Structure 1
Amino acid sequence: MVSPPELPPEPRREPILTLPGALTAYIGLLAIVHVVWSALPPDLEYWTIETFGFIPKRYDPSLLTATFPGGGGAKVWTFVTYSLLHANLSHIGFNVLWLLPFGSAVARRFGAFRFFLFMAVTAVAGAAAHLVTHEHSIAPMIGASASVSGAMAAAIRFAFVRGSFLSFRGNDADAAAQVPALSLMRALQNPRVLAFLAIWFGINIIFGMGSVAVGAESGSVAWQAHIGGFMAGLVLFSLFDPVPRPPRDAASASSGGADRVP
């Protein structure tokens, strides 16, 4: 009696709602930093903000380096470290809420190393935008919103493509994260992407007129940093994307043309 040949094992399908390890580690890092910072006495708490928060006035050439804690080194590391600090639970919770759908898609596509590097680069872009628009401000900026905005921008480069996260087809997260992305030109011709951009910029401008609690004080929302991180994520996405673009898309981009978006 001949037994039937064994069928190859069915590939594992990762549910859409499962968080990738890189995003879990990133959220865990934010939580640990917040818990440790919140446990500090008030004098060390504010010293931490001044040392690791982003303060535009720190870059005023007329001031001595020793004016702010951290010296010359803080002029470098605060471009990233500010994004790890949050004012309160609602601040960190709001950022994590947006990270769950968009950060999950990007982390699954980029992998851990690219994802963490991408979040750092978009944090730098957000700090740079804040520095340009708040040149003499002494108020420290903290929060991961610029990086979160960058992740949102990166996600829309592929999330609307058929078979991906926002196309409402299938539930395999790994497959959804590997669909070829739209070129920047094609993305800016996609009606759904354009609608997302209009809503995102509108919300940021509206909320930029409000305020957010920073410790026991009130500070304005750094919406310019959000835009800086978002634009960096949108434009620099291709430098981090490990998934090759289809040949016709590359040819269209090089010739200046654009195919219709499916």
Structure 2
Amino acid sequence: MIAIEALRTVLSEDANIEILALFAFIPARYDSAAEFALPGGLGADIWTFVSYALLHGNWVHLLVNLVWMLAFASPVARRFGTVRFILFCVVTAVAGAAAHLAAYPGAMVPMIGASAVVSGAMAAAVRFAFSPGGPLGPPGAIRDDHQPAASLLGAFREPRVLVFVAVWVALNFLFGVGISVPGTEGSEIAWQAHMGGFFAGLLLFSFFDPVPPAARSASLNP
């Protein structure tokens, strides 16, 4: 993402517009009643569900997302491994784009940024960070990103998980009413995409998690 942003800073305005037309997520691309077709054809209809996450509005927008990725995606990547983590990023990007498409069908404004993926990583981290032995788990246990995660229901029995999710959802509703963050001044925050990525990460975590659940782990290691 840093390399892409560096390249875009030296390209002409016309070239950057062409990049957005080919790789940003634009809901109007899927509107059969649109007055003109966007470039890229069927390929762009597919790849823009993911490629938009690699583009950013400016360096501040990119750096904010990278800081959040460093904090939340790093433990998830260590737990999942490279292949699972990349697939997880793809799925959360797609979920974010789908949520944005549902909210803004036919819109011509391009959506860019890795926030849906970051949101998915935040949700995935919640599934194991507060578990016994997790980075934010009860004191006295061995800290390890590969400790068994709580079930979805079990995670929501942890008050800190409930507070985290509630604050995160409330913050995104504030984005919806016009609160901005650094790097997004003058642009609308695609908070629906954040929600799509977050709940995809929260609900689909177990499909990517290679660590056996607690009950199974106990039976394998008496």
TM-score (norm 1): 0.77
Deviation at 1:202, TM superposition (A): 1.0
1:81 and 1:73, CA in 2 relative to 1: closer, same or farther beyond 3 A? same
Query: Does residue 1:51 correspond to 2:22, yes or no?
Result: yes
Which one of the candidate residues 140, 158, 163 is aligned to 2:128? 158
**One-letter amino acid matched to 2:22:** T
Which of 133, 158, 177 pairs up with 1:209? Answer: 177
C-alpha distance in structure 1 between counterparts of 2:113 and 2:211, whole Å: 30
- The aligned runs of 1:13-32 (5 Å cut-off) are 30-32=1-3
> Is the Cα contact below 8 Å between 1:102 and 1:151 reproduced in 2?
yes
- The amino acid that maps onto 1:153 is A
Sequence identity of aligned pairs in percent?
A: 52
- Identify the match of residue 231 of structure 1 among 190, 195, 199: 199
Q: How does 1:134-149 map to 2 (within 5 A)?
A: 134-149=104-119
Q: Contact (CA 8 Å) 1:163, 1:179: kept in 2 or not?
A: yes
CA distance in 2, matches of 1:222, 1:118: 20
Cα contact 1:87–1:213 (8 A) shared by 2: no
Post-superposition offset of 1:137: 0.8
- 1:170 Cα deviation after fit: 7.8
Aligned to 1:196: 164
Contact residue 148 and residue 217 of structure 2 kept, 8 A: no
The question of whether the paired residues in 2 share the 8 Å contact of 1:209 and 1:221 is answered with: no
What TM-score do you get using the length of structure 2 for normalisation?
0.91
**Count of residue pairs brought into register by the alignment:** 218
Task: Call closer, same or farther: CA 1:148–1:170 in 2, change over 3 Å.
Answer: farther
Tell me which structure has the larger Cα radius of gyration: 1
Match of 1:179?
A: 147
Q: Which runs of 4+ in 1 moved over 4 A?
A: 168-172, 211-215
Distance in 2 between residues matched to 1:47 and 1:169, nearest whole Å = 53
The answer as to 2:51 corresponding to 1:88 is no
Specify the SS of the correspondent of 1:182: coil
Give the superposition deviation at 1:171: 11
Q: Per-residue deviation at 1:209?
A: 2.4
